[in-house]
Structure 1
Amino acid sequence: MQIKTLFCILLISILGFGQNKQADNTVYTIAEGIIAKAIENISKNSSEKVLPAFQFKEYSKGVIQWQDKASKTLIPSENNYLFENFSLHQFQQKKITQETVLASNFPGFEEPYYPLFGKTLHTTSIYEKEYKILNKRFYSPLSKKGLKEYAFQLSKTVSNVQNPYHIITFLPKSKQAAAQLEGELYIDVTSFAVQQATIKHVENIESTTIHEFTYFEKEGLWFPVKTTSQLKPLNASGSYSLFGKNIAAGNMWYKEDENSEVTFSLISSRFDVQFSKMDSINKKQIDILALEDKNVETSSTFWNSYRETTLTEEELAISIDANSFIKYKNIENKIKKISDFNKGYYPIGFFDLDLKFLVKYNNYEGLRSGLGGITNEKLSKNFSVGGYLVRGFKDEDYKYQIAANFLVRKDSNTIIGVAYTKDVEEIGSNTPLLEGRSFTLFEPRLLNITQFYKHKTWQTTVQHNIRPNINGLLQLSRSTILQTRPYTFFNDGTSFSKYALSEAKLGILWTPFGKYMETPEEINEYEIGYPRISTQITQSFKNVLESDFSFTKIDVKIDHVIKHLNEQITEIILEGNLGLGDIPLTHAYHAYPNSPNKETILDRFSVAGIRSFETMYFGEFFSTKLASLHIKHRFKPLVIFSRLKPEFVLITRHAIGDFTHEENHQKIAFNTLEKGYSESGFEINKVIFGFGFSFAYRYGAYHLPNFEDNISAKFTFNFKL
């Protein structure tokens, strides 16, 4: 070992640390070669790649505190917060990883703040291709891309230790946003493993993270045992909040002050590392099990047994003050209300008021107003009762729903539901059963819809999570359909304007790359994974409960989001719909048009949709076979100041379709999409108070003779608490 080390040092000395340009280039080349070897040997040095299985326990402590710049003493603030977490981490090959939360300490909270368990504050493994700091992603210095984007320098080689190592410093070569890391890597002379790493970032946020490793001789492996991070905002873009930007506690925000500053420090220590004797791992494909044993006494004595040192006087003061402030301000309840509002609910005791039913508007009903909601867990955790009652002031008709849901099995989220609905529905709409609930203050397309049909529907549903990432739903329904405008469906020699349908729908949603957390209340996807693949099959049965038609519908949708390291985002939606049999127009497909049937661009000015064709007119096209593609590319928001961050988005949309037996649909005129429809444009979002601007242009086979008719100009709205 010593002979090899001395030879290495001698070789470096011969090549020279001299001051001439050639010597500098040579040293740089050596450093680059060492990093290249470290990258080449990741498969031999990364614990996740080398070991078939391992586990360890980890204690983490996070502290956000305001302090005096000069004396570094604590400044009392409602933003100060301290939290602790104690977990068991397990790993098996085939990428099975699981964290089991054994205990947590969130001062002021009755229940743990579960979303924090799923937040990535920094990358845990230095061997990953990407390195994350809060919400930012960078090229790791130990990656092929990092080897090109960073300038490496051999600082020195330390040989008078048991495991000699090279100290390699690195800096960004350019101002590319994804390559803005700097720091030091301690690379083992023999194995090229990392013994220690210091990673720094100084744009918007000043961050320093130190990764420490210990050598396990039996395994011949350097294993990560401790991570220490400290972060400080340098401007408004560097702000960060543990519980949400509207919550004062745990809020690291930038303030121009010569005398004070805020820091966020995080320490994670690993111990009781096991490479052979493993506890059994849960087979439910849950990434985080947050099911703490309520009987475990988590006193200061308990926590002191895992802390490297007891809490300082300042940390104790932060914990005590945060506990008082959060309880006094009822922060836990405020967090829940904000979460509920973003889903479209406002909790009132045991009842969640559904904000979607308060006020709406469309061209058929005019102003649509009423009340709706559902009971929450304060009434019962095993069943809920809900519904709504609304009135359209233009059609002067009441619509309502009465529904009940029963939780049959909690671990698989098996729910049986029954409902009766009397309402109107858009002609040609096709909402997937398992599409997640969304809520916006403006429902874009609803304002412009003119074509509806009436229905009275009895339905029963069974929802079941086959696995955390595979959700299934079966729905049986019987509907009576009435028209709101002249329309007749001619089928088997008979004309129908009123008809009955008995349908069975089966929906499957597969999210193979989602990450899941199990809490005492539910299993939820804490990190949305892509692609998301949904399939739905609908079968209508003729002569079952006096149903008039038999048809089959098969729908497949793929949602994919690509998050680029330069903070740009590409969103892709690919959808295919196939209808076979005797399908009335009410249950055929449209491509989500969103252009009002008005003459001028200004007359058509309204709200842009999320996945709609902005230049396609309502009622213009229908299909029994349809394929559509939506692509959005979002550029990094332009930060003008903290509350003004406009976002530029490029958009292109395409659809192609066909209609079988178009002649059977009478008293209504429409076109088909067999030639292919195209539009492209852009959005400038979040210009002021969540409002922005959208522009789209229609081109290709369905380009209209009048130039203005091909243009859509609308406003956008993006708002979240």
Structure 2
Amino acid sequence: MKHLCLLFFFFTFSLQAQFRVNGIVKESSANKPLPFATITANDGTNTISDVDGKFSLLSLKRIVSFDVSYIGFTKSTVVIVNDKPFYTVFLSPKRDDLKEVVVSNENPALTIIKKVIANKNANNPQKKLNSFEFKSYNKLIVTANPDSIDGRIDSVFVEKSIGKKFTKIDSSNYKFKEIISKHHLFQTEKVSQYQFDNPKLKETILGTKMAGFKQPIYEVIAFNLQSFSIYDSSYELFETKYNSPIANDALQDYNYKLLDTVSINGRNTYMVYFKNKKKRKASGLEGVIYIDQNNYAIAKAVMRIKGVLDISGIHEFQYIPKENLWFPIQKTFKIVKGKNDDDIKILGGTIQFEGDLEEDSKPHKKAASDYVYLLSQTNNFDINYNIPIQIKKSAISIEIKEDAVNRPESFWNSYRKDSLDIRSQKTYLVLDSISVKKRIESRLRFGRKIIN
């Protein structure tokens, strides 16, 4: 029950790649992670590090080596070693000035952003296309990486500068690490069909599966983690709206800097960093957008709130030559615990986690549960556009099919591009048994009746 309570706090993938390289990018002098570093494989496949500096590079071809670059730092080339699962890459600050692409006499990033804003309607699929439809597979987990949890939690000996020191095991943290090594704290899957017939967009949920519940919790299904479109004037992240970095009045709210030029889908893009002008922490969005150098469309976007929680939403697109259009193919949403004690505005209000620390007070000692994160990944497929589409019950934005909760395992296997690993399989078994034992589902139904 305690573990399920934790997932309610967060209430509310897979790629076709055959080869994967995982790692973290850090600054050599301060040993701090570098978010938004660019990682490029030898075949041109690229990705960026997340808010913790971690990355996962996937490719259809065998990865022999990869480059890591970051503004103001010397690029590093890493050669792949057989059987090595994780790479820690240290980048050193460089003293020479960054050579930027010069577009005009003004800040080149501003010139690029102005062209993005001017060409929004021509690049927005919901403006350019008369209709489209596609299916999507989503998997959401609340979990933690056992390897990230301090080794002192599960050992009676702690390494010191001279020898080892005996220490008492933290039983609660040890138990948490043991649990998280076997299964996730929460897990849900969903298969949907999206239909767009200008101007109506509808999601029909074909299948939904939620660990611990036979019937779906509709509050979780309807919870909006990130905006559907990157071109909306207000960008929504964790049910809170922010002025978009490409809104018509965005130049009043954001500073921009041109970081690099990278290739995506064989097309050259500008990599532009943006940050809210307000000096307060957690006052707005920051992130990176990749802009097609030819048509000034968004080829990839990383949107982030940095505060007590680090919340990031990543949008990835695929180029359609026939339409000269970038169409969304993947979304990733992640929440991790931040490293400060500031408040953050989410869900329409202010949430205070540890509270403001007094000057004389000691910093919060990190517990195993501080490594918990929420990860949602959505992949789009079977994309069709500019075809006759008839949307049934068009007045409804989200519809759940009657048999969506009763889909057999064969249904899920047909949509999962990768089968569930042992940890995910155990998550369904463990949480289902906990739910039955604690009568959680019946209690929720009873609570809803009282509310109604």
Q: TM-score range by the shorter chain?
A: 0.5 to 0.7
Match of 1:82 among 187, 201, 206: 187
Code of the aligned partner of 1:265: L
Code of the aligned partner of 1:268: T
Match of 1:51 among 116, 126, 129: 129
Cα 1:75–1:25 change in 2 (3 A) is farther
TM-score, normalised relative to structure 2: 0.62
Of Structure 1 and Structure 2, the greater helix share is in 2
Tell me how far apart the structure 2 counterparts of residues 174 and 97 of structure 1 sit (CA, whole Å).
34
Unaligned runs of at least 5 residues, structure 1: 1-17, 246-254, 344-721
- Paired residues of 1:59 and 1:268 also in contact (CA < 8 A): yes
The answer for the alignment partner of 2:55 in structure 1 is none
The aligned runs of 1:411-490 (5 Å cut-off) are none
The answer for the alignment partner of 2:398 in structure 1 is 288
Q: Report which structure shows greater RCO (CA 8 Å, sep ≥6).
A: 2
2:257 counterpart of 1:184: no
The answer for the alignment partner of 2:49 in structure 1 is none
Structure 1 runs of 4+ aligned residues shifted over 4 Å read 22-28, 71-75, 176-179, 235-241
The answer for the alignment partner of 1:205 in structure 2 is 309
Cα 1:284–1:54 change in 2 (3 A) is closer
Tell me how far apart the structure 1 counterparts of residues 441 and 130 of structure 2 sit (CA, whole Å).
41
Match of 2:372 among 243, 250, 262: 262
Tell me how far apart the structure 1 counterparts of residues 404 and 140 of structure 2 sit (CA, whole Å).
22
- Paired residues of 2:318 and 2:328 also in contact (CA < 8 A): yes
1:205-230 deviations in Å (ceiling 9; x for gaps): 21222211001122221000001121
The answer for the alignment partner of 1:272 in structure 2 is 382
Tell me how far apart the structure 1 counterparts of residues 434 and 376 of structure 2 sit (CA, whole Å).
22
Match of 1:38 among 116, 119, 132: 116
Secondary structure at the aligned position of 2:411 is classed as helix
The answer for the alignment partner of 1:165 in structure 2 is 269
Match of 1:333 among 418, 430, 442: 442
1:656-676 deviations in Å (ceiling 9; x for gaps): xxxxxxxxxxxxxxxxxxxxx
The aligned runs of 1:509-588 (5 Å cut-off) are none
The answer for the alignment partner of 2:279 in structure 1 is 175
Question: Cα offset for 1:185?
Answer: 0.8
Tell me how far apart the structure 2 counterparts of residues 25 and 44 of structure 1 sit (CA, whole Å).
22
The answer for the alignment partner of 1:308 in structure 2 is 417
Secondary structure at the aligned position of 2:418 is classed as coil
The answer for the alignment partner of 2:155 in structure 1 is none
TM-score, normalised relative to structure 1: 0.40
Secondary structure at the aligned position of 1:63 is classed as strand
What is the number of residues matched between the two proteins?
A: 313
Tell me how far apart the structure 1 counterparts of residues 200 and 264 of structure 2 sit (CA, whole Å).
40
Question: Cα offset for 1:121?
Answer: 0.9
Tell me how far apart the structure 2 counterparts of residues 113 and 107 of structure 1 sit (CA, whole Å).
11
2:139 counterpart of 1:61: yes
1:148-195 deviations in Å (ceiling 9; x for gaps): 212111112236973111111112221368852221111001110011
Cα 1:24–1:281 change in 2 (3 A) is closer
Code of the aligned partner of 2:179: P
Cα 1:147–1:177 change in 2 (3 A) is farther
Tell me how far apart the structure 1 counterparts of residues 431 and 342 of structure 2 sit (CA, whole Å).
24
1:339-362 deviations in Å (ceiling 9; x for gaps): 33334xxxxxxxxxxxxxxxxxxx
- Paired residues of 1:87 and 1:99 also in contact (CA < 8 A): yes
Cα 1:143–1:240 change in 2 (3 A) is closer
Secondary structure at the aligned position of 2:122 is classed as helix
Match of 2:241 among 132, 137, 148: 137
Tell me how far apart the structure 2 counterparts of residues 24 and 135 of structure 1 sit (CA, whole Å).
38
Match of 2:223 among 98, 106, 119: 119
Of Structure 1 and Structure 2, the greater strand share is in 1
Cα 1:31–1:240 change in 2 (3 A) is closer
Question: Cα offset for 1:134?
Answer: 1.3
The answer for the alignment partner of 2:8 in structure 1 is none
The answer for the alignment partner of 1:399 in structure 2 is none
- Paired residues of 2:282 and 2:344 also in contact (CA < 8 A): no
Tell me how far apart the structure 1 counterparts of residues 395 and 213 of structure 2 sit (CA, whole Å).
28
Secondary structure at the aligned position of 2:377 is classed as strand
The answer for the alignment partner of 2:334 in structure 1 is 230
1:560-617 deviations in Å (ceiling 9; x for gaps): xxxxxxxxxxxxxxxxxxxxxxxxxxxxxxxxxxxxxxxxxxxxxxxxxxxxxxxxxx
Cα 1:114–1:26 change in 2 (3 A) is same
Tell me how far apart the structure 1 counterparts of residues 432 and 346 of structure 2 sit (CA, whole Å).
20
Code of the aligned partner of 2:200: I
Tell me how far apart the structure 2 counterparts of residues 271 and 238 of structure 1 sit (CA, whole Å).
35
- Paired residues of 1:120 and 1:134 also in contact (CA < 8 A): yes
Secondary structure at the aligned position of 2:242 is classed as strand
The answer for the alignment partner of 1:342 in structure 2 is 451
Cα 1:304–1:102 change in 2 (3 A) is same
- Paired residues of 2:133 and 2:196 also in contact (CA < 8 A): yes
Aligned sequence identity (%): 27
1:3-52 deviations in Å (ceiling 9; x for gaps): xxxxxxxxxxxxxxx849x9999787210111111111110011111111
**CA-atom RMSD in angstroms:** 3.5
Cα 1:71–1:275 change in 2 (3 A) is same
Secondary structure at the aligned position of 1:265 is classed as strand
Tell me how far apart the structure 2 counterparts of residues 144 and 240 of structure 1 sit (CA, whole Å).
24
Question: Cα offset for 1:240?
Answer: 9.3
- Paired residues of 1:195 and 1:214 also in contact (CA < 8 A): yes
- Paired residues of 1:137 and 1:178 also in contact (CA < 8 A): no
The answer for the alignment partner of 1:531 in structure 2 is none
The aligned runs of 1:342-381 (5 Å cut-off) are 342-343=451-452
Question: Cα offset for 1:291?
Answer: 2.0
Greater gyration radius: 1
Secondary structure at the aligned position of 1:87 is classed as strand
Secondary structure at the aligned position of 1:305 is classed as helix
The answer for the alignment partner of 1:351 in structure 2 is none
Secondary structure at the aligned position of 2:132 is classed as strand
Tell me how far apart the structure 2 counterparts of residues 237 and 328 of structure 1 sit (CA, whole Å).
37
Code of the aligned partner of 1:108: G
Unaligned runs of at least 5 residues, structure 2: 1-95, 151-175, 352-363
Question: Cα offset for 1:336?
Answer: 2.2
Code of the aligned partner of 1:92: D
